[in-house]
Amino acid sequence: MLAAIVDASAIVAAFGERQRDTAHYQALFARAAEEGWPLATTWPCVVEASHLLMPPRRFAMLRWVADGGVSVYPFAQDALDPMVELMRRYTESPRTEMDLADASLVWLAADTGVTQVMTLDRRDFSRYRLPDGRTFEIL
């Protein structure tokens, strides 16, 4: 069984109106539900997606989260230290900047061992590495 980490960009694509890759992510989420894949994200990604989606799509996305469409992986306050270090490592001003949502997903991958990620941010997730050097498989 496949397991995947879900980025805000994939959530926005699936729930947004006229978004890039909407069909791809709607089909992927439907397949995940049908086949029982464990999907996980973090609160920073839910907040980012909620900010980017307009009502009523925002409400539909939040109901999907509430109904268990994706598990929101909790982290303690002290997990922010390794996330800040990730953000420092992957921020190359002015060209690229790792935000908290991405850092939380890299941290989540390191914590769970899941390296499959649903994201539109191919450029960023292609360069991110887990502490043991593993790369992400972008779905």
pLDDT averages per 10-residue partition of the chain, 139 residues: 94 91 95 96 98 97 98 96 96 84 98 97 95 96
135 part of a folded domain: no
137 part of a folded domain: no
25 part of a folded domain: yes
101 part of a folded domain: yes
Report in angstroms the alpha-carbon separations of 69 from 30, 60, 77, 105: 10, 11, 25, 17
Q: What is the CATH number of the domain that holds 122?
A: 3.40.50.1010
71 part of a folded domain: yes
Instruction: Beginning with the edge strand found earlier in the chain, give each strand of the sheet holding 39-41 in spatial order.
Output: 71-72, 39-41, 4-6, 116-118, 137-138
Number of domains forming the structure of the chain: 1
Query: Which residues span the domain enclosing 122?
Result: 4-130
pLDDT, residue 94, reads: 66
pLDDT, residue 19, reads: 80
123 part of a folded domain: yes
138 part of a folded domain: no
62 part of a folded domain: yes
**pTM to 2 decimals?**
0.94
